[in-house]
Structure 1
Amino acid sequence: MALLLALPTCSLSQDASASASASAFVCSRATFYGSPDCLGTPSGACGFGEFGRRINGGDVGGVAKLYKNGTGCGACYQVRCTQPQVCNPYGLTIVVTDYGEGDHTDFILSTSAYSKLALPNMALELMAYGVVDIEYRRVSCQYPGYNMMFKVHENSRYPDSLALVIWYQAGQYDITAVELWQEDCKEWRGMRRAYGAVWDMPNPPNAGAGLNLRFRVSGGVEGEKWVVLPNAIPTNWKAGAVYDSTIQLS
């Protein structure tokens, strides 16, 4: 006799981004995009580049409302489809790396992620649906063995223009501001969210030992807070380089 696992009832919400921050599942729909290797895309709207293709084993996706003008980049969601004849009851965790709108969908998943919604040996049947009903909720990102990292975007030009991309952002926090310390003026200078997870600043500070950085996060059990990182970026930073923050959110 087959064992049928009942799925919790999900809520319908006009504000999906707010509802998904709680533990309750939100009802929606999902589809997928094709790629030669079934992974993510290096041209995603979050600005992650090649990192966005392979993070989380390529189980990534583009979102619409949950993109939140780029604040949603790097967030993690548990997604599971609700066709019991082809879908497993647990779904999987995906990382937001792109913006995408489909046919009344909140998620456009990589082929890798979409296929993992299926029961064993049912991936082709699920793919044939094209679009499926799902439920989702925000969950903590977890990157064992990795600290949060700052990549100097390739478009940066030392020393005149600095752009940073934040990698391996754990927990359930949204990064809402990034600032650099201007030593001669004794003040914090705000970076601009250029797009997605990319923050930039013309004429960045030229510090002695390194650039002091702080970022504001919201969400999680502590609400909103600032995290200060002394000497986070070397003074002689280089475009394309990745620097370890030595910390991780939890």
Structure 2
Amino acid sequence: MSNKLIEVENLFIRDKEGRYILKNFDFSLEKEQIHAIIGESGSGKTSFALSIFKLNNQNLHITFKKFDLIKIPLDSYSTPKLEDLRGKVVSLIPQNPISAFHPYRKVGSQIMEFFRLKKSPLANLDSIMTILSETGIASPDKKIKMFPNELSGGERQRILISMAFALKPKIIVADEPTTALDPVNEKKVLKLLYALVQKNKTGMVLITHDLRIVKEMADMVTVLKNGLIVEKFSITQNSMSITKDYTKKLLNRFNIKN
């Protein structure tokens, strides 16, 4: 029996001028696997992440041979089913935690609204404070009364992570989850993410440009350049089976020894 949570074959994404953002893209994610997609800016990483949620710009033209989430074709989801899918089956941890929040509403009210929209029993203060505590937020009773800009970058990201995992989705998509963080908070957030994936037996799509993060966290890696797959490789015992020069250059950029 297949454990595949995501299965994509021959995905093409192009803009209205006909330029390809992704070309002939294949991808799969298995239960409890962390599959990283790595590449420089403009390689097509985030476009794929958004396509999982059907949130791409409507001006883009998207075709594929197969695009299944939990063995169900993505195109078969109606709009109401899509809303139910987001957060409950597949959840996004966005790249920029500050832009994910409304700047003039207190954090607690925004978390409460999220759970109410999902008709979750977690839409109460006790549950919210428990969830925040479990992801390392100190004094959650005080933090929920603050505005987003009153929290540190690490706190904002931890709150988004707690919301992403709270509804027990089968798939987490983490889009550059540590970009806005300092090195100390980056390490803490990555450790938290890895622990939550293991605890919840979740599959995770990890979008990043940083091979250091990949080597530390991922099981499988897809390398992208200009919308094309350069290579795929697995990581075993902290060793990466790299063959292509482009990937080796990325290694050298981060002074990583394989």
- Name the TM tier (shorter chain): under 0.3
**Could you state the TM-score of these two structures normalised by the residue count of structure 2?**
0.24
Counting helix residues as a fraction of each chain, which structure ranks higher?
Answer: 2
Higher strand share: 1
Tell me the TM-score normalised to structure 1 length: 0.24
* Higher RCO (CA-CA < 8 Å; seq separation 6+): 2
